[in-house]
């Protein structure tokens, strides 16, 4: 049995080698020889396991279908610097016309993005951008502004001498750090009366945020607001206090404008968030790619808007998620 | 009572119950460190917070005692969980959703078991492969997006049963099942025998491969249940949830006295290990220990547990050797 299995494996291996050598791999990305030029774009996602990154990758894929002359291949960086760097190198070797990088850790990907530029490939960084690469373009949202739109309204909403808890994203992450700095400058420095009674790193995760909140409510009978660097963590913390009369008026702020967050705002449980629209990022990424590939422009650096979502305008964003199928 | 006898009893207590002494001391320290620690609600919170990981840890305990492990449990949990949530949304049946989670997880664990027993793949590699595949399958199924609006599904993780939060009830039931399996069944004795010395177990007529497969199937049932509780607790189907839970579960089992080299461990010890980690996490947040320092402390605890495990094992081996030596001397003398 083992002998036959070994023989079979060897035959399969040899056949695959022969097939591989005799004929170039046919992929949907192969440029056509006739007709208008089709541009090949490699989109190197940070991690498909990251819900925002997955949302963005899906949006990019959908947006690409609107362009007849652009074909996008999505690659998963698996939240790993070396994997992502290897994918960029592979894309350079495969001579893609453009490479869009959603960095796992901007500085770790910088030399590889520079290599792509040096190889004459159009290079675009997104969510978050890698600043200062000569010849590269970028499409991003400004994390400082995303937090600031919430912080500015929170100044009037959070009561005097309030107790608040803060949930941070992973340290070293460009968006996590910039959002926290924004809250510090735009809110905490202007409201010295507000006391932080708990601050932890919940790594963007809902379940980690839940665990911290469960402990904080034991230590503090009064928590007036949850300040979270993304919606997932805000939703996790709110899960703990929902239905608890002591925290009936608790305020909660996030960033991203996820489907869950807009539903919580509609229910009156969450106060506000700011939209980091993957759809808008995707639209601009493809438009930017098109302009750069066709030579209409040579360099583009842009930020998408980060509108505040609250009870006044939440219906509009619920509709947006309904259209995308994220809300039934 | 002679000094020798007292020493012997003390050694026995130390080797069997040291983990509970550590837990008791930690409990007292935590109670003194913060007045909120000892409240009923806080202790219930800790129990609820550790429930998912502890259920995974019971499965790991059986596997580790048997000389194996499961690195895929966090990913399989995510896959089973999202399939279960999706089943509920599409059918409205909580029972069916529960069954789907268990079936999905058991299938993954049967594959783990087959890799280990039929293809002789080291459990580390087999379950590492499953870890990647199951996570990929969960992401593929959901397109990487969380599933919201899960309705009554939250009853599994947020409801109460017999006046206790449901996750705690699940944890206690699975504790009882694991304890019974390990202590009172032929399968349990075989698990210890295989982990202690696989060749000897094989020679004594134990069907090693069959026991290993059964151990993975039991682990699959536990992981499926944990998946339901996790998704229900976080009120959503999260394909990227429970990342790293397999390591938390391994930590609980090892701190609880399960020996990584196999043959030694208990369900109650694992529960104690999970509570030690739970108490530590809780008190560090209550007393506002710096987040980075928390990671150092957690790491140090794991290192200490493993060092203690190696030290205790070498001490036991020396004691056994001394006893064998004494026996042979005695026999030689009598002859």
What pLDDT score does A30 carry? 47
Confidence grade of residue B317 (pLDDT, cut at 50, 70, 90): confident
CATH superfamily of A39-138+278-303: Response regulator (3.40.50.2300)
* Backbone phi, psi, residue B237, to 5°: -90, 110
The per-residue pLDDT of chain A, averaged, comes to 88
Residues of A with CB under 8 A from a CB of B: 48-51, 53-55, 57-58, 168, 171, 198-201, 205-207, 210-212, 214-216, 218-219, 235-236, 239, 258-260, 263, 326-328
What pLDDT score does A27 carry? 39
What are the pLDDT digits (tens) for A97-139?
999 999 988 888 999 999 999 999 999 999 888 888 999 999 9
What are the pLDDT digits (tens) for B125-166?
999 999 999 999 999 999 888 898 899 999 999 989 988 999
Question: A256 has which bridge partners?
Answer: A275
Q: Identify which has the larger pLDDT, A119 or B18.
A: A119
Question: A200 has which bridge partners?
Answer: A167
As annotated, the residues of chain A forming the CATH 3.40.50.2300 domain(s) are 39-138+278-303, 143-274
Using CB atoms, which residue from A51, A168, A198 is nearest to B146?
A51
Distance CA B310, CA A123 (A): 52
Angle between helix A51-64 and A278-293 (nearest 10): 50
Distance CA B85, CA B101 (A): 9
Q: Around Cβ B297, how many Cβ atoms within 10 Å?
A: 13
What pLDDT score does B334 carry? 75
Q: Which of B306, B108, B123 is nearest to B198 (CA)?
A: B123
**ipTM for this prediction:** 0.83
What pLDDT score does A19 carry? 42
Evaluate whether A40 touches A262 at the Cβ level (below 8 Å).
no
Tokens 């390591």 identify what position?
A: B247
Helix locations, B93-165, DSSP H? 94-117, 123-142, 155-158
What pLDDT score does B215 carry? 98
Residue count of chain A, please give it. 328
Whole-Å CA distances, A292 to A44, A70, A123, A288, B76: 18, 12, 9, 6, 43
Q: Around Cβ A68, how many Cβ atoms within 10 Å?
A: 9
What are the pLDDT digits (tens) for B183-237?
999 999 999 999 999 999 999 999 999 999 999 999 999 999 999 999 999 999 9
Is the pLDDT reported for residue A179 higher than 70? yes
- Tell me the average pLDDT across A188-217: 95
Task: Name the class of domain A143-274.
Answer: alpha beta
What are the pLDDT digits (tens) for B254-298?
999 898 889 999 999 999 999 999 999 999 999 999 988 998 998
**Nearest residue in A to B290, CA atom:** A200
Q: Identify which has the larger pLDDT, B139 or B332.
A: B139
Q: Identify which has the larger pLDDT, A172 or A265.
A: A265
Q: Are strands A273-274 and A225-228 parallel, antiparallel or unpaired?
A: unpaired
- The rounded Cα A82 to chain-centroid distance in angstroms is 19
Using CB atoms, which residue from A48, A55, A212 is nearest to B285?
A212
Domains and CATH numbers, chain B: 51-315 (1.10.3470)
Q: Around Cβ B233, how many Cβ atoms within 10 Å?
A: 26
Q: Are strands B164-165 and A308-309 parallel, antiparallel or unpaired?
A: unpaired
């Amino acid at each position: 049995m083992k002998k036959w299995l070994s023989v079979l494996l060897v035959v399969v291996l040899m056949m695959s080698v022969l097939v591989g050598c005799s004929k170039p791999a046919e992929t949907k990305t192969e440029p056509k020889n006739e007709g208008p030029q089709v541009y090949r774009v490699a989109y190197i996602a940070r991690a498909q396991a990251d819900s925002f990154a997955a949302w963005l990758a899906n949006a990019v894929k959908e947006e690409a279908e609107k362009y007849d002359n652009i074909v996008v291949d999505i690659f998963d960086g698996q939240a790993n610097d070396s994997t992502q760097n290897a994918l960029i190198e592979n894309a350079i070797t495969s001579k893609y016309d453009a490479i869009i990088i959603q960095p796992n850790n901007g500085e770790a990907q910088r030399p590889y993005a520079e290599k792509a530029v040096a190889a004459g490939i159009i290079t675009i960084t997104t969510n978050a951008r890698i600043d200062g690469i000569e010849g590269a373009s970028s499409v991003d949202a400004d994390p400082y502004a995303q937090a600031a739109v919430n912080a500015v309204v929170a100044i009037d909403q959070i009561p005097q001498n309030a107790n608040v808890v803060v949930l941070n994203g992973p340290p070293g992450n460009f968006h996590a750090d910039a959002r926290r700095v924004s809250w510090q400058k735009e809110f905490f420095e202007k409201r010295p009366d507000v006391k932080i009674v708990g601050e932890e790193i919940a790594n963007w995760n809902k379940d980690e945020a839940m665990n911290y909140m469960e402990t904080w409510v034991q230590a503090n009978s009064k928590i007036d607001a949850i300040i979270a660097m993304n919606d997932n963590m805000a939703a996790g913390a709110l899960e703990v206090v929902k239905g608890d009369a002591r925290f009936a008026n608790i305020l909660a702020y996030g960033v991203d404008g996820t489907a869950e967050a807009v539903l919580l705002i509609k229910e009156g449980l969450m106060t506000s968030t700011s939209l980091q629209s993957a759809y808008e990022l995707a639209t601009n990424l493809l438009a930017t790619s098109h302009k750069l590939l066709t030579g209409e422009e040579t360099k583009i650096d842009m930020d998408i808007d980060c509108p505040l979502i609250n009870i006044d305008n939440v219906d509009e964003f619920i509709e947006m998620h309904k259209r995308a199928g994220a809300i039934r | 009572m002679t000094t020798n006898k007292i020493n012997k009893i003390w050694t026995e207590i130390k080797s069997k119950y040291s983990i509970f002494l550590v837990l008791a001391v930690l409990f007292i320290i935590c109670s003194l460190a913060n007045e909120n620690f000892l409240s009923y609600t806080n202790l219930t919170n800790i129990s609820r917070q550790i429930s998912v990981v502890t259920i995974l840890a019971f499965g790991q305990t059986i596997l580790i005692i048997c000389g194996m492990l499961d690195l895929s449990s966090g990913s399989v949990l995510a896959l089973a969980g999202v399939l279960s949530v999706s089943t509920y949304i599409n059918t409205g049946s909580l029972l069916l959703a529960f069954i789907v989670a268990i079936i999905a997880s058991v299938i993954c664990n049967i594959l783990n078991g087959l890799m280990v027993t039929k293809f002789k793949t080291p459990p580390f590699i087999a379950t590492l492969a499953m870890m990647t595949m199951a996570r990929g399958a969960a992401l593929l199924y959901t397109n990487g997006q969380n599933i919201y609006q899960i309705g009554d599904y939250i009853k599994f993780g947020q409801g109460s049963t017999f006046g206790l939060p449901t996750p705690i009830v699940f944890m206690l039931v699975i504790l009882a099942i694991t304890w019974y399996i390990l202590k009172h069944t032929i399968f349990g004795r075989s698990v210890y025998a295989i982990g202690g010395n696989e060749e000897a177990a094989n020679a004594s007529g134990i069907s090693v491969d069959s026991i290993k497969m059964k151990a993975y199937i039991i682990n699959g049932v536990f992981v499926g249940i944990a998946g339901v509780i996790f998704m229900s607790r976080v009120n959503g189907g999260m394909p990227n949830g429970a990342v790293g839970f397999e390591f938390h579960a391994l930590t609980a089992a090892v701190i609880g006295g399960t020996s990584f080299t196999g043959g030694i461990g208990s369900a109650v010890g694992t529960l104690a290990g999970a509570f030690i980690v739970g108490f530590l996490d809780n008190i560090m947040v209550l007393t506002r220990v710096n987040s980075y320092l928390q990671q150092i402390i957690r790491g140090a605890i794991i290192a200490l547990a493993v060092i203690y495990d190696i030290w205790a094992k070498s001490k036991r081996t020396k004691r056994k050797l001394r006893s064998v030596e004494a026996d042979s001397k005695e026999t030689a003398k009598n002859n």
